[in-house]
Amino acid sequence: MDDLFSKLRSIPSTSFYNKKKPLNGLPCADIPSGSEDEDIGSDDEVVCEYEDVEDPDFLCSDIEDSDEMMNATMMNLSRSRLYWNPKFRFTQIAEQLSVNRWDEIKRFIHFNNNNNMPPSYDKLYKLRPLLDHFRSRSLTIPKEEHLSIDEQIIQFKGRSKLKQYNKNKPHRWGYKMFVLSGSTGIAYDFEFYIGQENKVITGEVDCGVSSNVVVRLARSIPKNVNYKLYFDNYFNGPKLQIFLAKVGILSVGTVRINRVPKVDMVEDKILSKKGRGAFEEKVSTYDNINISLVKWHDNKCVNLLSTYVGSQPTGKVKRWFSSEKMYKEITVPHVVTEYNIHMGGVDLLFIEWLV
Protein backbone atom coordinates (compact mmCIF):
# COMPACT_ATOMS: atom_id res chain seq x y z
CA MET A 1 0.00 0.00 0.00
CA ASP A 2 2.92 2.39 0.70
CA ASP A 3 4.03 2.23 -2.95
CA LEU A 4 0.54 2.76 -4.37
CA PHE A 5 1.46 5.77 -6.53
CA SER A 6 5.23 5.29 -6.65
CA LYS A 7 5.02 3.32 -9.91
CA LEU A 8 2.48 4.91 -12.20
CA ARG A 9 1.04 3.24 -15.26
CA SER A 10 -0.69 5.04 -18.09
CA ILE A 11 -4.45 4.42 -18.34
CA PRO A 12 -6.64 6.36 -20.79
CA SER A 13 -8.72 8.62 -18.58
CA THR A 14 -11.73 8.35 -20.87
CA SER A 15 -11.95 4.61 -20.14
CA PHE A 16 -11.66 5.05 -16.39
CA TYR A 17 -15.40 5.13 -15.77
CA ASN A 18 -17.79 2.38 -14.72
CA LYS A 19 -21.26 3.04 -16.11
CA LYS A 20 -22.88 -0.21 -14.92
CA LYS A 21 -25.89 0.29 -12.68
CA PRO A 22 -27.01 -1.74 -9.65
CA LEU A 23 -29.42 -4.59 -10.20
CA ASN A 24 -32.18 -3.05 -8.11
CA GLY A 25 -33.67 0.44 -8.17
CA LEU A 26 -35.75 2.50 -5.78
CA PRO A 27 -39.45 1.69 -6.28
CA CYS A 28 -41.24 3.97 -3.86
CA ALA A 29 -44.09 1.49 -3.47
CA ASP A 30 -41.65 -1.02 -1.96
CA ILE A 31 -40.54 1.27 0.87
CA PRO A 32 -41.83 -0.40 4.06
CA SER A 33 -43.78 1.40 6.71
CA GLY A 34 -43.69 0.65 10.42
CA SER A 35 -46.53 -1.18 12.08
CA GLU A 36 -48.40 0.63 14.79
CA ASP A 37 -48.59 -2.62 16.76
CA GLU A 38 -44.91 -3.44 16.42
CA ASP A 39 -43.18 -3.63 19.80
CA ILE A 40 -40.00 -1.56 20.03
CA GLY A 41 -39.21 -2.24 23.66
CA SER A 42 -41.01 0.55 25.52
CA ASP A 43 -43.03 -0.95 28.34
CA ASP A 44 -45.29 0.69 30.89
CA GLU A 45 -43.89 -1.58 33.61
CA VAL A 46 -40.33 -0.50 32.86
CA VAL A 47 -41.24 3.19 32.96
CA CYS A 48 -43.38 2.79 36.08
CA GLU A 49 -40.64 0.92 37.91
CA TYR A 50 -38.18 3.70 37.14
CA GLU A 51 -40.50 6.58 38.02
CA ASP A 52 -41.53 4.97 41.33
CA VAL A 53 -37.94 5.27 42.48
CA GLU A 54 -37.24 8.72 41.04
CA ASP A 55 -40.57 10.52 41.51
CA PRO A 56 -43.59 8.85 43.16
CA ASP A 57 -45.81 11.75 42.03
CA PHE A 58 -45.37 10.90 38.34
CA LEU A 59 -48.69 9.52 36.98
CA CYS A 60 -47.69 6.39 35.13
CA SER A 61 -51.30 5.68 34.16
CA ASP A 62 -51.03 8.51 31.63
CA ILE A 63 -47.88 7.22 29.95
CA GLU A 64 -49.82 6.99 26.69
CA ASP A 65 -49.01 10.71 26.41
CA SER A 66 -45.65 9.53 25.10
CA ASP A 67 -47.43 8.99 21.77
CA GLU A 68 -47.80 12.76 21.54
CA MET A 69 -44.07 13.11 22.08
CA MET A 70 -43.35 10.73 19.20
CA ASN A 71 -45.72 12.68 16.95
CA ALA A 72 -43.98 15.92 17.89
CA THR A 73 -40.65 14.67 16.55
CA MET A 74 -42.14 14.82 13.05
CA MET A 75 -42.47 18.61 13.25
CA ASN A 76 -39.57 20.76 12.09
CA LEU A 77 -39.03 23.00 15.13
CA SER A 78 -35.63 23.71 16.62
CA ARG A 79 -36.71 23.31 20.28
CA SER A 80 -39.47 21.23 21.82
CA ARG A 81 -40.82 24.09 23.97
CA LEU A 82 -41.80 25.98 20.81
CA TYR A 83 -44.85 23.70 20.56
CA TRP A 84 -46.32 25.76 23.44
CA ASN A 85 -44.98 29.11 22.24
CA PRO A 86 -47.86 31.47 21.25
CA LYS A 87 -46.20 32.17 17.91
CA PHE A 88 -45.52 28.54 16.94
CA ARG A 89 -48.19 26.80 19.02
CA PHE A 90 -49.00 23.30 17.73
CA THR A 91 -52.51 22.60 19.04
CA GLN A 92 -52.45 18.82 18.46
CA ILE A 93 -49.76 18.61 21.13
CA ALA A 94 -50.23 21.71 23.28
CA GLU A 95 -53.90 20.89 24.00
CA GLN A 96 -53.12 17.28 24.92
CA LEU A 97 -50.47 17.84 27.57
CA SER A 98 -48.66 20.67 29.33
CA VAL A 99 -45.04 21.60 28.81
CA ASN A 100 -44.18 20.35 32.31
CA ARG A 101 -45.84 17.04 31.54
CA TRP A 102 -43.77 16.86 28.35
CA ASP A 103 -40.55 17.30 30.32
CA GLU A 104 -41.61 14.61 32.80
CA ILE A 105 -42.25 12.10 30.04
CA LYS A 106 -38.89 12.79 28.42
CA ARG A 107 -37.25 12.34 31.80
CA PHE A 108 -38.80 8.97 32.62
CA ILE A 109 -39.21 7.35 29.22
CA HIS A 110 -37.23 4.07 29.03
CA PHE A 111 -37.03 1.28 26.46
CA ASN A 112 -34.95 -1.06 28.62
CA ASN A 113 -35.00 -2.00 32.28
CA ASN A 114 -31.98 -0.54 34.09
CA ASN A 115 -31.91 -3.56 36.43
CA ASN A 116 -31.28 -5.88 33.48
CA MET A 117 -28.30 -3.97 32.08
CA PRO A 118 -25.62 -6.45 30.90
CA PRO A 119 -22.03 -6.33 32.22
CA SER A 120 -20.78 -4.84 28.92
CA TYR A 121 -21.69 -1.21 29.51
CA ASP A 122 -23.75 0.40 26.74
CA LYS A 123 -24.11 4.17 26.94
CA LEU A 124 -27.29 3.97 24.87
CA TYR A 125 -28.82 1.05 26.77
CA LYS A 126 -32.00 2.95 27.70
CA LEU A 127 -32.73 3.74 24.04
CA ARG A 128 -31.14 0.74 22.34
CA PRO A 129 -34.42 -1.06 21.40
CA LEU A 130 -35.80 2.14 19.85
CA LEU A 131 -32.62 2.76 17.85
CA ASP A 132 -32.47 -0.88 16.75
CA HIS A 133 -36.09 -0.63 15.60
CA PHE A 134 -35.45 2.48 13.49
CA ARG A 135 -32.30 0.93 12.04
CA SER A 136 -33.97 -2.38 11.18
CA ARG A 137 -36.75 -0.53 9.34
CA SER A 138 -34.22 1.61 7.46
CA LEU A 139 -32.26 -1.46 6.34
CA THR A 140 -35.32 -2.87 4.56
CA ILE A 141 -35.61 0.10 2.17
CA PRO A 142 -34.25 -0.65 -1.36
CA LYS A 143 -31.11 1.39 -1.87
CA GLU A 144 -30.27 3.89 -4.59
CA GLU A 145 -27.32 3.53 -6.94
CA HIS A 146 -25.50 6.53 -5.46
CA LEU A 147 -24.98 6.52 -1.68
CA SER A 148 -23.06 8.80 0.65
CA ILE A 149 -21.74 8.61 4.20
CA ASP A 150 -21.33 11.65 6.39
CA GLU A 151 -21.61 12.69 10.01
CA GLN A 152 -24.53 14.66 11.40
CA ILE A 153 -25.01 16.53 14.65
CA ILE A 154 -28.39 16.20 16.38
CA GLN A 155 -28.69 19.56 18.13
CA PHE A 156 -28.55 19.36 21.93
CA LYS A 157 -27.03 21.79 24.45
CA GLY A 158 -28.11 20.13 27.69
CA ARG A 159 -25.99 18.01 30.00
CA SER A 160 -24.93 14.70 28.52
CA LYS A 161 -21.76 12.60 28.42
CA LEU A 162 -22.50 11.85 24.78
CA LYS A 163 -22.62 15.49 23.67
CA GLN A 164 -20.05 16.41 21.00
CA TYR A 165 -18.75 19.67 19.56
CA ASN A 166 -18.04 20.19 15.85
CA LYS A 167 -17.29 23.74 14.74
CA ASN A 168 -17.86 22.90 11.07
CA LYS A 169 -21.51 21.86 11.45
CA PRO A 170 -24.63 24.10 11.43
CA HIS A 171 -25.46 22.74 14.91
CA ARG A 172 -22.13 22.73 16.71
CA TRP A 173 -23.29 21.07 19.94
CA GLY A 174 -25.20 17.81 20.08
CA TYR A 175 -25.17 14.07 19.55
CA LYS A 176 -22.99 12.85 16.69
CA MET A 177 -24.11 10.12 14.35
CA PHE A 178 -22.84 8.69 11.08
CA VAL A 179 -25.44 8.17 8.35
CA LEU A 180 -25.58 6.14 5.14
CA SER A 181 -27.91 8.08 2.86
CA GLY A 182 -28.96 8.27 -0.76
CA SER A 183 -28.84 11.33 -2.98
CA THR A 184 -32.55 11.84 -2.26
CA GLY A 185 -31.95 12.21 1.49
CA ILE A 186 -33.34 8.82 2.55
CA ALA A 187 -31.38 7.28 5.44
CA TYR A 188 -30.58 3.59 4.88
CA ASP A 189 -28.38 2.98 7.91
CA PHE A 190 -26.87 4.93 10.80
CA GLU A 191 -24.54 4.63 13.76
CA PHE A 192 -24.47 6.77 16.89
CA TYR A 193 -21.05 7.83 18.08
CA ILE A 194 -20.50 6.75 21.69
CA GLY A 195 -16.75 6.01 21.63
CA GLN A 196 -17.22 2.24 21.87
CA GLU A 197 -17.14 1.32 18.18
CA ASN A 198 -14.27 0.29 15.87
CA LYS A 199 -14.69 -3.48 16.10
CA VAL A 200 -13.36 -5.21 12.97
CA ILE A 201 -15.05 -8.48 12.04
CA THR A 202 -13.62 -11.42 10.12
CA GLY A 203 -13.16 -10.69 6.43
CA GLU A 204 -12.79 -6.94 6.88
CA VAL A 205 -9.64 -4.83 6.82
CA ASP A 206 -8.73 -2.46 9.65
CA CYS A 207 -8.53 0.82 7.72
CA GLY A 208 -8.22 3.10 10.76
CA VAL A 209 -10.73 4.54 13.20
CA SER A 210 -12.42 7.02 10.86
CA SER A 211 -12.31 4.79 7.76
CA ASN A 212 -13.77 1.88 9.71
CA VAL A 213 -17.00 3.89 10.06
CA VAL A 214 -17.45 3.52 6.30
CA VAL A 215 -16.58 -0.18 6.46
CA ARG A 216 -19.27 -0.81 9.09
CA LEU A 217 -21.99 1.19 7.32
CA ALA A 218 -21.11 -0.44 3.99
CA ARG A 219 -21.98 -3.89 5.39
CA SER A 220 -25.62 -3.33 4.42
CA ILE A 221 -24.78 -2.39 0.81
CA PRO A 222 -25.21 -5.30 -1.65
CA LYS A 223 -21.83 -6.38 -2.99
CA ASN A 224 -20.67 -6.71 -6.61
CA VAL A 225 -23.69 -4.93 -8.12
CA ASN A 226 -21.99 -1.59 -8.84
CA TYR A 227 -23.26 0.60 -6.03
CA LYS A 228 -21.32 3.86 -5.77
CA LEU A 229 -20.36 5.30 -2.40
CA TYR A 230 -19.22 8.86 -1.62
CA PHE A 231 -17.55 10.27 1.51
CA ASP A 232 -15.29 13.15 2.53
CA ASN A 233 -11.67 13.38 3.63
CA TYR A 234 -12.45 12.65 7.28
CA PHE A 235 -13.12 9.03 6.33
CA ASN A 236 -11.15 8.51 3.14
CA GLY A 237 -7.86 6.81 2.36
CA PRO A 238 -6.46 4.47 -0.32
CA LYS A 239 -6.71 1.43 1.96
CA LEU A 240 -10.45 2.01 2.43
CA GLN A 241 -11.25 2.51 -1.25
CA ILE A 242 -9.25 -0.54 -2.34
CA PHE A 243 -11.08 -2.68 0.25
CA LEU A 244 -14.45 -1.40 -1.00
CA ALA A 245 -13.48 -2.09 -4.62
CA LYS A 246 -12.51 -5.67 -3.74
CA VAL A 247 -15.97 -6.33 -2.28
CA GLY A 248 -17.65 -4.76 -5.30
CA ILE A 249 -18.48 -1.24 -4.07
CA LEU A 250 -17.24 1.65 -6.23
CA SER A 251 -16.29 4.84 -4.41
CA VAL A 252 -15.27 8.49 -4.70
CA GLY A 253 -14.07 10.76 -1.93
CA THR A 254 -12.03 13.81 -1.14
CA VAL A 255 -8.76 12.85 0.52
CA ARG A 256 -6.05 14.43 2.61
CA ILE A 257 -2.90 14.22 0.55
CA ASN A 258 -0.81 13.06 3.52
CA ARG A 259 -2.90 9.88 3.62
CA VAL A 260 -1.69 8.92 0.13
CA PRO A 261 1.88 7.62 0.58
CA LYS A 262 4.70 8.31 -1.87
CA VAL A 263 2.69 10.27 -4.40
CA ASP A 264 4.45 12.88 -6.51
CA MET A 265 1.67 15.40 -7.08
CA VAL A 266 2.19 19.03 -8.03
CA GLU A 267 2.26 21.35 -5.01
CA ASP A 268 -0.79 23.49 -4.31
CA LYS A 269 1.02 26.79 -4.77
CA ILE A 270 2.38 25.71 -8.17
CA LEU A 271 -1.01 24.50 -9.41
CA SER A 272 -2.72 27.68 -8.18
CA LYS A 273 -0.41 29.76 -10.38
CA LYS A 274 -1.95 28.07 -13.42
CA GLY A 275 -5.30 29.61 -12.52
CA ARG A 276 -8.68 28.32 -11.47
CA GLY A 277 -9.67 25.14 -13.25
CA ALA A 278 -6.16 23.71 -13.45
CA PHE A 279 -5.84 20.07 -12.43
CA GLU A 280 -3.46 17.11 -12.39
CA GLU A 281 -4.29 13.39 -12.37
CA LYS A 282 -2.29 10.32 -11.37
CA VAL A 283 -3.60 6.80 -12.00
CA SER A 284 -2.21 3.66 -10.39
CA THR A 285 -3.05 -0.02 -9.92
CA TYR A 286 -2.94 -2.01 -6.68
CA ASP A 287 -4.07 -5.65 -6.47
CA ASN A 288 -5.72 -5.24 -9.89
CA ILE A 289 -7.72 -2.25 -8.62
CA ASN A 290 -7.41 0.92 -10.72
CA ILE A 291 -7.44 4.05 -8.59
CA SER A 292 -7.31 7.69 -9.70
CA LEU A 293 -6.02 10.68 -7.75
CA VAL A 294 -7.05 14.13 -9.03
CA LYS A 295 -5.91 17.50 -7.67
CA TRP A 296 -8.07 20.42 -8.83
CA HIS A 297 -7.72 24.13 -8.12
CA ASP A 298 -10.84 26.23 -7.62
CA ASN A 299 -10.68 28.81 -4.81
CA LYS A 300 -8.18 26.40 -3.28
CA CYS A 301 -6.85 22.96 -4.18
CA VAL A 302 -8.87 19.83 -3.47
CA ASN A 303 -7.79 16.19 -3.86
CA LEU A 304 -10.18 13.41 -4.88
CA LEU A 305 -9.56 9.66 -4.90
CA SER A 306 -11.75 7.36 -7.00
CA THR A 307 -12.02 3.73 -8.08
CA TYR A 308 -14.48 4.24 -10.93
CA VAL A 309 -14.16 7.72 -12.47
CA GLY A 310 -11.26 10.02 -13.37
CA SER A 311 -10.77 13.52 -14.69
CA GLN A 312 -12.23 12.88 -18.15
CA PRO A 313 -14.46 13.98 -19.71
CA THR A 314 -13.99 17.45 -18.29
CA GLY A 315 -16.82 19.94 -18.01
CA LYS A 316 -17.34 23.64 -17.43
CA VAL A 317 -18.67 25.53 -14.41
CA LYS A 318 -19.21 29.24 -13.85
CA ARG A 319 -17.24 31.01 -11.14
CA TRP A 320 -17.24 34.62 -9.97
CA PHE A 321 -13.92 36.46 -10.42
CA SER A 322 -13.97 39.37 -7.99
CA SER A 323 -10.92 41.03 -9.57
CA GLU A 324 -12.70 41.26 -12.92
CA LYS A 325 -16.22 41.54 -11.44
CA MET A 326 -17.67 38.98 -13.80
CA TYR A 327 -18.54 35.29 -14.13
CA LYS A 328 -16.21 33.11 -16.17
CA GLU A 329 -16.22 29.44 -17.07
CA ILE A 330 -13.49 27.20 -15.72
CA THR A 331 -12.63 23.56 -16.36
CA VAL A 332 -13.86 20.95 -13.88
CA PRO A 333 -12.76 17.27 -13.86
CA HIS A 334 -15.55 14.72 -14.16
CA VAL A 335 -14.74 13.19 -10.77
CA VAL A 336 -15.49 16.55 -9.12
CA THR A 337 -18.85 16.77 -10.88
CA GLU A 338 -19.79 13.24 -9.79
CA TYR A 339 -18.82 13.96 -6.19
CA ASN A 340 -20.72 17.26 -5.99
CA ILE A 341 -23.91 15.77 -7.45
CA HIS A 342 -24.14 12.77 -5.16
CA MET A 343 -22.47 13.71 -1.87
CA GLY A 344 -25.10 15.91 -0.21
CA GLY A 345 -27.77 13.35 0.71
CA VAL A 346 -27.06 13.35 4.44
CA ASP A 347 -27.49 17.14 4.58
CA LEU A 348 -31.11 16.71 3.43
CA LEU A 349 -32.00 14.73 6.54
CA PHE A 350 -33.80 16.25 9.52
CA ILE A 351 -33.23 14.17 12.64
CA GLU A 352 -34.26 15.44 16.06
CA TRP A 353 -35.09 12.15 17.77
CA LEU A 354 -36.34 12.51 21.33
CA VAL A 355 -34.30 15.68 21.89
Would residue 17 count as lying in a domain? yes
> What is the b/e burial string over 80-107, where b = at least 16 CB atoms within 10 angstroms of the residue's CB?
beebbeeeeeeeebbeebeeebbebbee
pLDDT of residue 72: 61
Q: Could you tell me if 194 and 79 lie in one domain?
A: no
Q: Are both 67 and 146 inside the same structural domain?
A: no
Mean pLDDT over 151-159 rounds to: 84
pLDDT category at 6 given cuts 50, 70, 90 is low
Residue 198 shares a structural domain with residue 297: yes
**Residues 227 and 270 both lie in one domain:** yes
Instruction: Concatenate the DSSP letters of all residues of 159-176 into one string.
Output: S-TTEEE-TTSSS-EEEE
The residue range of the domain holding 101 is 44-110
**Domain co-membership, 50 together with 25:** no
Q: Is residue 134 part of a domain?
A: no
The region of weakest confidence among 6-10, 89-93, 221-225, 247-251 is: 6-10
Average pLDDT over residues 321-337: 92
pLDDT in tens, 192-228: 888 877 778 878 888 888 899 999 999 999 999 989 9
Answer whether residue 58 is part of any domain: yes
pLDDT bucket at 106, cuts 50 / 70 / 90: confident
Q: How confident is the model at residue 277, as a pLDDT?
A: 92
Identify whether residues 302 and 209 lie together within a single domain: yes
Are residue 96 and residue 159 in the same domain, yes or no?
A: no
**pLDDT at residue number 19:** 56
Decide which of 185 and 316 is more confident.
316
50-58 — which CB contacts under 8 Å span 24+ positions? 50/108, 50/110, 50/114, 51/108, 54/107, 54/108, 55/104, 55/108, 58/104, 58/108
Q: Identify whether 205 is part of a domain.
A: yes
- Looking at residue 38, its pLDDT comes to 55
Give the model's pLDDT for residue 130: 85
Give the end-to-end CA distance of the chain in Å, rounded to a whole number. Answer: 44
Residue 20 within a domain = yes
- The tally of domains found in the chain comes to 2
- Report the DSSP beta bridge partners of residue 249: 227
pLDDT at 194: 85
**Is 122 inside any structural domain?**
no
Q: Are residues 55 and 184 in the same domain?
A: no
* Statement: residue 62 has pLDDT above 70: no
- 112-143 pLDDT per residue, tens: 887 888 877 788 888 888 889 889 999 999 99
| pLDDT at residue 48, rounded to an integer | 52
Tell whether 246 is covered by a domain: yes
* One domain, residues 255 and 156: yes
Question: At 4, phi and psi to the nearest 5?
Answer: -55, -50
Higher pLDDT, 167 or 248: 248
Residue 279 has pLDDT above 90, yes or no: yes
